[in-house]
Amino acid sequence: MMDLERLPLKRCETCDARDVCPCRGPAQLSCYVVEQLKQNYGAAGIDTPEEVGTPVPSRMRVLEALNCFMDVLFPGRMQTELETDVSTEGFVQERLARGHRLISREIERALPFRWTGAYALSRGEAEADIKVHDTAAELASMFAIELPSIRELLIEDVQAAYYGDPAAHTYAEIMLSYPGLQAITIHRIAHVLYLLDVPLLPRIMSEYAHTTTGIDIHPGAEIGSSFFIDHGTGVVIGETCEIGDRVKLYQGVTLGARSFPLDEDGNPIKDIKRHPTLEDDVVVYAGATILGGDVVIGKGAMIGSNVWLLESVPPGSTVTQGNVEVKVKRNDKDDAEGGDHDG
């Protein structure tokens, strides 16, 4: 059993203000730990790693709102079951109303980071919005208006998955089970919020998709119609990527940045194009890595597996690795002394 008398425990400030201190034993340990933690708390209202006092969006409510909008876009196909005795229209109206209420509240809590966030403060350009509640309500409505357009894009994404995967026998299985569709659905929702300059919420959503699907799409990435990620695990798509229509990616593809230019203070410059552009009808196979904001993969190009690419590719090209020597060794006694067979 822990000997509390051997620990450097002190009476907490609250107890010091009392004539009789109830802070003894395990209670005293709690007070001591809290006092030590408080020494590492930053000033409220300043976006630092130590800051804890400023209200922030509720991750739980953001994800609940996200689930509501996924229900609106795919009623009964992705999140909440659609009961047989409930009309689709009534279901969608209920989920939309709840999602709208939730997202409006969380936008209101996120908006101050437009002017109090670390990057905003470093630029010194953002001004505080004195009508945060009204702005949040307006942004929530602007977002909701985009949902029909998002659904149109997602229907094309489902079709791309069906025609792009010979293992898909039904559209329903794509909507119910494909991680690539879940990731692009969340991305298309988060991307609209990103374009509306809503802080924090788009990243909460995209990192939730990353956690649940293994697919990491920054909400800033511009992705065209009929997009399909096959298998999906390990795909990374950076913030300034531009992806055209009918593009197909396989697992393990990275569309990333080559390096980060630094400002005079040694900090990465953020507002520049850092990630590649893929034009229409490009296919990128498993494990390929394409890096750099000046890299353009031309229309109809095919990038082979495990290619490391730092330069642009003309339209209609095929890029593969150079010859790789493959050795096959048989696991039998006679061959154990005979060495390898080149294959």
Q: What is the pLDDT of residues 64-81, one digit of tens each?
A: 999 999 999 999 999 899
- Tell me the pLDDT band of 16, cut-offs 50, 70 and 90: low
* Segments of the chain assigned to CATH 1.10.3130.10: 54-217
pLDDT exceeds 70 at position 256: yes
Distance between terminal CA atoms of the chain?
Answer: 65
pLDDT exceeds 50 at position 172: yes
Answer yes or no: are the C-beta atoms of 301 and 318 closer than 8 Å: yes
Q: Which stretches of the chain are assigned E, i.e. beta strand?
A: 216-217, 222-223, 228-229, 236-237, 242-243, 248-249, 254-256, 277-278, 283-284, 289-291, 296-297, 302-303, 308-309, 318-319, 327-328, 341-342
pLDDT exceeds 50 at position 14: yes
Residue entry with tokens 């997009």: 227
Question: What does the radius of gyration of the chain's CA atoms come to, in whole angstroms?
Answer: 26
Please give the CATH topology (third level) of the domain spanning 221-343: UDP N-Acetylglucosamine Acyltransferase; domain 1 (2.160.10)
* Segments of the chain assigned to CATH 2.160.10.10: 221-343
Mean per-residue pLDDT, 235-263: 94
Output b/e per residue, 301-340; b: 16+ Cβ within 10 A.
bbbbeebebeebbeeeeebeeeeeeeeeeeeeeeeeeeee
Min mean pLDDT across 13-17, 221-225, 241-245, 265-269 is at 13-17
Domain 54-217: CATH superfamily, name plus number: serine acetyltransferase, domain 1 (1.10.3130.10)
Min mean pLDDT across 95-109, 113-127, 296-310 is at 113-127
pLDDT exceeds 60 at position 247: yes
Mean per-residue pLDDT, 272-288: 97
The structure tokens listed for 135 are 């702005």
Round the average pLDDT of the chain to a whole number and report it.
Answer: 88
What pLDDT score does 277 carry? 98
Regarding beta strands 228-229 and 248-249, do their DSSP bridges make them parallel or antiparallel, or are they unpaired? parallel
Count of residues for the chain? 343
pLDDT exceeds 50 at position 341: no
Min mean pLDDT across 165-169, 173-177, 261-265 is at 261-265
- Tell me the pLDDT band of 189, cut-offs 50, 70 and 90: very high
Mean per-residue pLDDT, 201-219: 98
